Amino acid sequence: MEQRHGIEALTSGAMASVWEWTKSKIPSDLGVFDAHAHIGVDIDGRTMTGEGMRERMQAAGIVQSIVFPLNDPNARDDYSGPNDVVWSAYEDYPDLFVPFFRLNPHLDYDGEFARCIERGFEGLKLHPVSQEFELDNPKVVRLFGMAAGANIPVLIHAGFAMQRIVEPLLPTVEKHPNLRLILGHAAMVETLEAARQFEGHPNVLFETSVVQAKDLYVLFSSLDPGRISYGSDIPYGDYPSTLHATLAAADAAGVPDEHIPGILSGNIRRWFG
C-alpha cells in the first residue's frame, strides 16, 4: 500500500495534468523498459527491494528493468554480497529484471567477474565516483576489454560529480567497437561533447535518468534519438518524474513521436533478445 500511495502522490493533485500528458505520449501497447535501477542498500541510507521495484513498475506500466547494486556498505571486497541480492531478486522475478553486477576495479575482480558471467548476469555496472577511479585507469580499461570479450554491456555512471568522461573513454570505444556501453545520466556534464564524439559509435547509448532539463534538451537536440534510452535511477528517481522529464525534453527538442517507442524501450531492449 505504501508504494501505491507513493505513485498516487506523484500523479494526483497538482501533478495530475502532468501525469496525464506523460501517459498521453506513451503508446498504450508499449511496454516501457527502464535501463537504470538499483536493488539493495546504499551507504547514504537509500534502499530498494525486488518487491519494491515490482510494485513501482506495475503501478507505472514498466515491463522490464535493468537492475544492479547501490554503493553498498555491505560490499565485500569483490561486491559479491550485493550482487547476490540482485541475483536473488532476479530469481524471484525473472521476467521483470535484467540483472547487472557491480565491481570495484581497484580490487581483485577476476573471480567475481567470472562467477557473475557463469551465473548468467547480463551486464556490468561501474561507478567512477563511488569507487573513485578514472575511466582510463589501466585496471578499468582491462575490465572493459573483459566485458567486450564476454559480450556483456557496461553501464557507467556518467553524471553528477564526474570530471572526465569522453576523453578517457574514447580510446576504449575505438578499440572495442562491439562493446556495448550505456552512459548513465547521459554524460550530463559533457553531453554535447559526448554526443559529438560518440555519434559514430552505434553501440554507445545515452540513458536519461536524473539529468538536468537543460542537458536533456541538448541531448535530444544533438543526437539521433535511436541512441537514447529511458532510465529511472530508482530509488533516486521515480517513474512519473523521469518519464515526464524524458518525454518533455524530447517534445521540446522536436523529436517526432515515431521515435518514442525506441527511446522508452526498443533502443536498448534489442540488446537483451
DSSP 103: -
Number of residues in contact with Zn ion, rule: CB under 5 A? 1
Near Zn ion in 200-239, by CB under 5 A: 233
**At closest approach, how far in Å is the CB of 68 from Zn ion?**
8
Nearer to Zn ion, 156 or 204 (CB): 156
Site string (168-207) toward Zn ion, x via CB under 5 A: ----------------------------------------
69: phi then psi, degrees, rounded to nearest 5: -65, 160
Nearer to Zn ion, 112 or 233 (CB): 233
**At closest approach, how far in Å is the CB of 155 from Zn ion?**
9
What distance in Å separates the CA atoms of residue 59 and residue 57, rounded to the nearest whole number? 6
**At closest approach, how far in Å is the CB of 182 from Zn ion?**
11
**At closest approach, how far in Å is the CB of 233 from Zn ion?**
4
What distance in Å separates the CA atoms of residue 239 and residue 23, rounded to the nearest whole number? 11
Beta bridge partners of 62: 32
Site string (88-117) toward Zn ion, x via CB under 5 A: ------------------------------
- Whose CA is closest to 127, among 108, 148, 100, 150? 100
What distance in Å separates the CA atoms of residue 271 and residue 234, rounded to the nearest whole number? 21
Nearer to Zn ion, 34 or 190 (CB): 34
Which element (helix H / strand E) includes 63?
A: strand 62-68
Contact 219, 195 (CB under 8 A): yes
**At closest approach, how far in Å is the CB of 69 from Zn ion?**
10
**At closest approach, how far in Å is the CB of 200 from Zn ion?**
27
Nearer to Zn ion, 85 or 260 (CB): 85
Contacts of 74 (CB under 8 A, 6+ apart): 41, 81, 82
Nearer to Zn ion, 10 or 35 (CB): 35
Nearer to Zn ion, 159 or 240 (CB): 159
Contact 99, 65 (CB under 8 A): no
Contact 69, 97 (CB under 8 A): no
**At closest approach, how far in Å is the CB of 245 from Zn ion?**
15
C-alpha cell at 15: 501533478
DSSP 227: G
Nearer to Zn ion, 41 or 260 (CB): 41
Q: Where do contacts with Zn ion occur on this chain (CB under 5 A)? A: 233
